[in-house]
Amino acid sequence: MAHYWFALWGIVFRELFRFVKQKERFLSALVRPLVWLFVFAAGFRAALGIAIIPPYDTYIMYEVYITPGLIGMIQLFNGMQSSLSMVYDREMGSMRILLVSPLPRWFLLVSKLLAGVFVSILQVYVFLAIAWFYDIQPPVEGYLWILPALILTGLMLGALGLLLSAFIKQLENFAGVMNFVIFPMFFMSSALYPLWKLQESSQILYSIAKYNPFTQAVEFLRFALYGQINQEAALATILAFAIFLIIAIIGYNPSKGMMKRKG
């Protein structure tokens, strides 16, 4: 058991060291949601009025509405960043050191996932701290309530990244992931506008957004930030996490998935 514990900490610390050393990565992870908050939200505040919808019990500023979506965005990009680094590590060879260690592959992948989630949570709290000065001030207990939600949504979005990394053969193909996964996931969700607004424009878009795992993650985070549990969103997030993780583990199994070779 101690072996597993040492390995988990080793993987988490490595990810943390790398993150701290790569200051540009930390900065860009923060700048992206802050630009959305300070520029996009300010510009669209007037155009996109928000009615009173749960978990909010009064009219809110648009900036308040999109904050959970931007938290989801941090985790989504972090999940993709981890996946990119997995593909890079695989191409450069350093992934081999991980895969030849005497631990089950599922454990190594879950540890890598947890390391990524840990880093993403640090980013989220720094973002929330800055947002506080911009009058995004959820109840104090919300900062605590959101932690388990962040772990689950981070795991789900990280598992999606892991799944993609198992099936992306070359680093060059990663641009496609941005176009075909990140952007549709983000824009066809409740991150920027409530689902009822989307329904007014297009029933098809509404249906896609409703079943988009990212929508469920954002709603889970939105309620958690206000001390509430959105059970439907929580269950959908857990289910999506389980599905993505299982496929990723199959993808990394040497006798199955893309690592398969005939012997």
Give contact residues for another protein (rule: CB under 8 A): 2-4, 6-7, 9-11, 13-14, 17-18, 21-22, 92-94, 96-104, 254-255, 259-263
Q: Which is nearer to another protein, 115 or 152 (CB)?
A: 115
Q: Which is nearer to another protein, 22 or 207 (CB)?
A: 22
Tokens standing for residue 44: 């669209």
Q: Which is nearer to another protein, 96 or 169 (CB)?
A: 96
Q: Which is nearer to another protein, 179 or 255 (CB)?
A: 255
Cα radius of gyration rounded to whole Å, the chain = 19
The answer to whether 78 touches 32, Cβ cutoff 8 Å, is: no
Q: Among 123, 134, 150, which residue's Cα sits nearest to residue 218?
A: 150
Q: Which is nearer to another protein, 46 or 100 (CB)?
A: 100
Q: How far apart are CA 113 and CA 234, in angstroms?
A: 19
Closest distance of CB 120 from another protein, Å: 19
Closest distance of CB 171 from another protein, Å: 15
The answer to whether 155 touches 117, Cβ cutoff 8 Å, is: yes
Closest distance of CB 71 from another protein, Å: 27
Q: What are phi and psi of 128, to 5 degrees?
A: -65, -35
Q: Among 145, 141, 142, 151, which residue's Cα sits nearest to residue 120?
A: 151
Closest distance of CB 228 from another protein, Å: 39
Q: What are phi and psi of 52, to 5 degrees?
A: -80, 115
Closest distance of CB 87 from another protein, Å: 15
The answer to whether 171 touches 88, Cβ cutoff 8 Å, is: yes
